Amino acid sequence: MDHHDIVRACEGDFEEFGDSFQGAGWTKAEELADRRYEVMLDVIDDQPRPTSVLDFGCGSARLLDYAIRSGRADGLVYSGLDLSSRVIEHCRAKYPDRTFHQLDVLASTAGLPVFDTILLNGVFHYKGEMAQEAMFDYFCALLRTVRPHAGRTLAFNVMSTHVEWTRDDLFHLPIQQATDFVATELSRRFVVRQDYGLYEYTVYVYL
Amino acid sequence: MSDTPHPPLVESCEELFLEHGDNYLGQGWTKSQANTDRRRDVMLDLMKGRTGPVTLLDFGCGTGQLLEYMRALHIDDVEYTGLDVSDLFIRVAREKFPDVQFHLGDLLAGELELPMFDYIVMNGLFTYRGPVAFDEMSAHWQRLVTAAMTHARIGVAFNVTSPYVDWERDDLFHVPMQLLADFVAASPCPYFRLRHDYELFETTVHAFREPTPARRTEPS
């Protein structure tokens, strides 16, 4: 099992539920999916506009829906990226004036420009049947790969270990394992947010 | 005074004050005024997003330099109170600010009748450990922060020295991230942010009683 299986699981959700929070793989409520988008967008609050953002693993571009709906899209030069050609087709029809990349960056990043910010929202929550170590290797490999394409900031979220119970199919990553990697390989300037009550945390990395 | 590592730590703070006077060096910071101010900014970020007047306790206030800084920045929607275990510091602070309340005493010794505050900041209490062993310092830090949290309606901020440094110093309190996160997640203020973005080889923790959406309501 590898990240292609994770993408297939996401496509399954999209086919079953369509362009909704459940179709994007979130299980509980629209409001909770929105809270994640809000925390992701907080990382660019202090940046001058216009600012370019790559929504990595964009699904059906619901982060952009949220940014528009909540009045946070001014000066936001949004691009999306996904491995799934089905969701990218959907995005291109939905937002014909935005750029969407259909790309497996672990195979090649050819043609992918540099963005001020890269957001990876929900890319590392679900691991399915992947072993914890294999998922951690994937997590590191992906962040290493996208790092040169982020000019200012990177943000990603993972499941917390501070939960009532952990699930075998979710990627619960001890905070120190994440920050050791970030501080050693990406940047010593970072923020960890576990303040929004969703059994996960978001890391902002300032490059 | 309670059976804690306070005495040697407080003594070294007082010695620095007697040597350098009422400036950043006299409060135990070694590098520059700019760095000292940056640390204060990160502490004050705890209250970012407030929608009305709030109360703040400066826990371990020294001579009240944070209040001077806040006044210089014209932060006038925060009602400041100071607290320190050093008689010397509280005497100086009261002389400087006769209209401001300063508490003298050791919270852990039960010497204080402290009210509730919206926010509490503990700046520089846990960056230096001097001759105190790591485990003893760790127990002290966790007890004192937990005690402070019981007096905070919304949240508490404190800082420790980072583990991500070029070299560790035996007299500084370098706290591993997992220890920090596990402690706060199990504390009365379990919703937290770890700020390691301001390049001073330390981590500032903002710990809140409620998650973000609930905090958007008016402070009391």
Q: What is the pLDDT of residue A132?
A: 97
Q: What is the mean pLDDT of residues A165-176?
A: 95
Which pLDDT tens digit goes with each residue over B140-159?
999 999 999 999 999 999 99
B201 Cβ contact list (under 8 Å, min separation 6): B161, B162, B164, B165
pLDDT at B217: 52
Pick from A179, A180, A207, A181: nearest CA to A193: A179
Q: What is the dihedral of CA A119, A122, A126, A127, to 10 degrees?
A: -10
Interface test with B, best of A175, A181, A195, A207 (most B CBs within 10 A): A195
State the burial class of residue B105 (Cβ atoms within 10 Å of its Cβ: 0-12, 13-18, 19+).
Answer: middle
Question: pLDDT band for position B216 (50/70/90)?
Answer: low
Fold of A3-206: Rossmann fold (3.40.50)
C-alpha distance from residue B124 to each of A73, A152, A157, A188, B212 (Å): 39, 29, 30, 20, 26
In chain B, the percentage of residues whose pLDDT exceeds 70 is 95
User: Does A29 contact B at CB distance below 8 Å?
Assistant: no
Binary contact (B193, A191; C-beta < 8 A): yes
Q: Which of B164, B211, B213 sits opposite A188 (nearest CB)?
A: B164
The answer to whether residue B36 sits within a structural domain is yes
Any domain includes B1: no
- Which of A160, A176, A198 is opposite residue B178, by nearest beta carbon? A176
Task: State whether residue A162 sits within 8 Å of chain B by CB.
Answer: yes
The pLDDT value recorded for residue B12 is 85
**Rounded Cα gap, residues B119 and B57, in angstroms:** 6
Average pLDDT value for residue range A87-93? 96
Domain residues for the domain of B112 are 6-215
Mean pLDDT (whole number) for B89-93 = 96
**Could you give the CA distance from residue B76 to residue B53 in angstroms, rounded to a whole number?**
8
Q: Which residues of A touch B47 (CB under 8 A)?
A: none
Q: Is the pLDDT of residue A191 over 60?
A: yes
- Say whether A189 and B192 touch across the interface (CB within 8 A): no
DSSP letter assigned to residue A185 = I
d(CA B70, CA B80): 9
A173 near B181, Cβ under 8 Å? Answer: no
Main-chain dihedrals φ then ψ at residue A145, nearest 5 degrees: -70, -40
In A, which residues are within 8 Å of B214 by CB distance?
197
Q: What angle is formed at CA B180 by the lines to CA A186 and CA B214, rounded to 5 degrees?
A: 95
In angstroms, the CA B53 to CA B77 distance is 5
Produce one character per residue of B35-69: b if its CB has 16 or more CB atoms within 10 Å, e if not: ebbebbebbbebbeebeeebbbbbbbbbbbbbbeb
Residue B218 pLDDT greater than 70, yes or no:
no
pLDDT, tens only, A107-140: 999 999 999 999 999 999 999 999 999 999 999 9
Interval A169-197 mean pLDDT: 97
How distant is the alpha carbon of residue B7 from its chain centre? 17
Please state the domain extents for chain A.
3-206
Residue B220: inside a domain: no
Separation in Å, CA of B165 to nearest CA in chain A: 9
Q: How many domains does chain B have?
A: 1
CB contacts of A197 in chain B (<8 Å) are: 191, 210-214
CA dihedral B64, B69, B72, B73 (to 10 degrees): -130
Q: Does B220 have pLDDT greater than 60? A: no
Nearest chain A CA: its distance from B219 CA (Å): 17
Does residue A86 carry a pLDDT above 80?
yes
Task: State yes or no: pLDDT of A46 exceeds 70.
Answer: yes
Question: What residue has token string 């004192």?
Answer: B144
CA-nearest of A39, A190, A170 to B211 is A39
The complex's ipTM? 0.95
**Which CATH number characterizes residue B202's domain?**
3.40.50.150
Q: How confident is the model at residue A15 (pLDDT cuts 50, 70, 90)?
A: confident
CA dist., res. A122 & res. A38, Å (int): 13
Rounded Cα distance between A116 and A60, Å, is 21
Average pLDDT (A152-158) is: 98
Residue A25's pLDDT is 87
User: What's chain B's Rg over C-alpha atoms?
Assistant: 16
Q: Which of A35, A174, A195 sits opposite B192 (nearest CB)?
A: A195
Nearest CA in chain B to A189: B197
Q: What is the pLDDT of residue B3?
A: 61
Distance CA B42, CA B200 (A): 11
Residue B143 within a domain: yes
Which of the 8 DSSP states describes residue B161?
E
Q: To which H or E segment does residue B187 belong?
A: none
Q: Tell me the CB-side half-sphere exposure of residue B137, using CA atoms within 13 A.
A: 21
